[in-house]
Chain A
Amino acid sequence: MIVAEQKTLDEIRRMIIPYHRILVVGCGTCMTVCDAGGEREVSFLHNALRLAETKSGNGVHIFSEYVLKRQCDPEFIDLLVDKVGDIDAILSLGCGIGVQAMAERFPDIPVLPGVNTSFMGMARELGVWDERCAACGDCRLEETAGICPITRCTKGILNGPCAGTKNGKCEVSKEMDCAWVLIYRRLERLQQLEKMRRYYPPRNFRAIPRPKRIVTKASTGTGENDG
């Protein structure tokens, strides 16, 4: 899933200064799970913004709130059409995709990002998320025992550990595992160490021309080519 962190209240308050009526929009999918922009966070942020204005005595904003099931899907965004008529700006607590999807849907309304979208990751424990995928478009996890060196090695190198690894940790941080030590140990456990000995050629960055588009076989429409 996509993991994000909510921006500071100060930064959000600075962003909304030019606008009067603001709709705070949460997202019911990834942002809800990672506690950055679900129903609870929308409600907390809404209250915090109101409280901050009352305290500073210059309350000039009018807030409303709504939580979409998914901000990255036009079908759900359409539910906002009759709620944005008199809105000056949307404060989105969706990920970077949600913010952009809303900006495309509402070309005349500024959409402000309320979170910093950080990475694609998994839950480690309650409230702790670890990055796991860089969406490189050329998955080689079969060769690396299901541990991604592009994401988990700070240098993203493909042919084994650099000389900076110490006690199984990365040269960047004593808390961060060296991806290549993990890969070696797991390949050894799976009796697949020959994969460690193979030469892996340089990455093909053409596999990921940005921005990417995927058209599935199930697709019915042709879609507007705006890339």
Chain B
Amino acid sequence: MANSLFQEKLCSNRFLVTTEVGPPKGADISEMAHHIDLLKGKVDAINVTDHQSSVMRFPSLGGCLVVKERGGEPIFQVTCRDRNRLALQADLLFAYSRGISNILCLTGDSIDVGDHKEAKPVFDLDSVQLLKMIKIMESGNDMSGNELKGAPKFCIGASVHPEADFIEAQLVKFDKKVTAGAQFFQTQGIFDLGSLRRFMQYASQFNPKILAGIIVMASARMAKYMNENVPGIIVPQAIIDELATAEKGKGLQKGIEIAAQLIKTIKEENLCHGVHIMAVGNEGTVPDILEAAGLVGVRP
């Protein structure tokens, strides 16, 4: 029996679509709830980011509860930046007890890129060790070997960066994540399908399902900003130039077209097992992207 609805879908041969919501800076969750309602029937699962870019926000776990309450399938993004191994295990036990069973294991961005630069970075574990920790918990023990009263069962995933400029080292880490038990990967933003093709030539020898990360750009300025400031993002000049051709106020529309075209090609060429759409602040555009990419259809 699958540990979650999403895990069941991973086992199917369907082209999967996931997306993400970023929790608010503050206690007013109405906008996030609105986005969840808008997206829940149209995608296979919704990630909730964990203080994305190290900016303090409403918690990922709380966001996952909201997704769950509203009938969606959450993916709990867990970073190692803010919690030591006690807190990580505790949060995972709580998540499991509330029916949150999909976990995306991440190391987390550096504290220095966020809005609480003076905070203490934790990084007690890294993403590979976090995956291993979850496998230990599933076996019925905590990390110190003590028996758990009630072992959780999860569907665990990780991230990979096919467009990294030093791909060899990233692939070594990818291998470690596969060995540690990752069942799915959501990649960092893909802009160049050549790099995705090359990555998939390598990755397809392994079992985990690969969902290509698609970032929706709202303008050439945003693309340049992300290149400068967001860890791991490399938007090629050709995409920046294409965004720049958009008329004033039509940048987001151009971004939606670019994203939809990427998704369409990935699906048509069967490049990988699905896509993960990151609309960073423009979550409302995801249904338009899906429509433009020809991916409309109820996803229960």
Contacts and interface: CB of A to CB of B under 8 A. Distances in A.
B164 A160 contact: no
Q: Which bracket fits the contact residues of A?
A: 20 to 34
A157 B109 contact: no
B188 A199 contact: no
Contacts of B110: 154-155, 164, 170-172
A161 B176 contact: no
A164 B121 CA distance: 16
A196 B169 contact: yes
A161 B123 contact: no
Contact of A160 (B165, B172, B179): B172
A103 interface: no
Nearest to B133: A202
Contacts of B172: 160, 184, 196-197
A22 to B, nearest CB: 32
Nearest to A201: B129
Give the interface centre of A164, A166, A167 by most chain B CB atoms within 10 Å: A164
A208 interface: no
A197 B179 CA distance: 11
Q: Which of B123, B175, B234 has the most CB of A within 10 A?
A: B123
A180 B176 CA distance: 15
B107 A155 contact: yes
Contact of B173 (A156, A160, A164, A181): A160
Interface in B102-144: 107-110, 112-113, 121, 123-129, 132-133, 143
Contacts of B109: 164, 171
A161 B143 CA distance: 24
B176 A197 contact: yes
B232 A158 contact: no
Interface string A162-195: 1111111011110000101100100000000000
Q: Of B107, B112, B127, B143, which is in contact with the most chain A CB atoms at under 10 Å from its CB?
A: B107
B183 interface: no
A118 interface: no
Contacts of A159: 126-129, 173, 176
A197 B174 CA distance: 10
Nearest to B166: A181
A45 to B, nearest CB: 28
B261 interface: no
A161 B170 contact: yes
Contacts of B166: 161, 165, 168, 178, 181, 184
Highest count of chain B CB atoms <10 Å: which of A158, A159, A170: A159
Given A164-B110, A166-B234, A202-B124, A158 B129 contact: yes
A163 B188 contact: yes
Contacts of B124: 202-203, 205
Contacts of B169: 160-161, 165, 180-181, 184, 196
B180 interface: yes
A158 B164 CA distance: 19
Nearest to B169: A184
B125 A163 contact: no
Given A155-B121, A184-B166, A202-B129, A162 B176 contact: no
A171 B179 CA distance: 26
Contacts of A202: 85, 124-125, 129, 133, 143
A155 B126 contact: yes
Contacts of A184: 166, 168-169, 172
A167 B170 CA distance: 13
Task: Identify which of A156, A160, A184 gathers the most chain B CB atoms within 10 Å of its CB.
Answer: A160
Find the residue from A181, A199, A202 having the highest chain B CB count within 10 A. A202
B161 interface: yes
A156 B120 CA distance: 13
A163 B161 contact: yes
A163 B177 CA distance: 13
Contacts of A167: 165
B219 interface: no
Interface string A82-102: 000000000000000000000
B77 interface: no
A161 B128 CA distance: 11
Given A160-B128, A163-B188, A184-B168, 17 more contacts: A154-B110, A155-B81, A157-B107, A160-B176, A161-B169, A161-B173, A162-B232, A164-B109, A164-B231, A166-B234, A171-B231, A178-B166, A184-B169, A196-B169, A199-B128, A199-B176, A202-B124
7 contacts: A155-B81, A160-B170, A163-B231, A164-B110, A197-B176, A202-B85, A202-B133
The 4 closest A-B pairs by CB, nearest first: A164-B231, A171-B231, A160-B173, A157-B126
Interface of B: 81, 85, 107-110, 112-113, 121, 123-129, 132-133, 143, 159-161, 164-166, 168-170, 172-173, 175-176, 179-180, 188, 231-232, 234
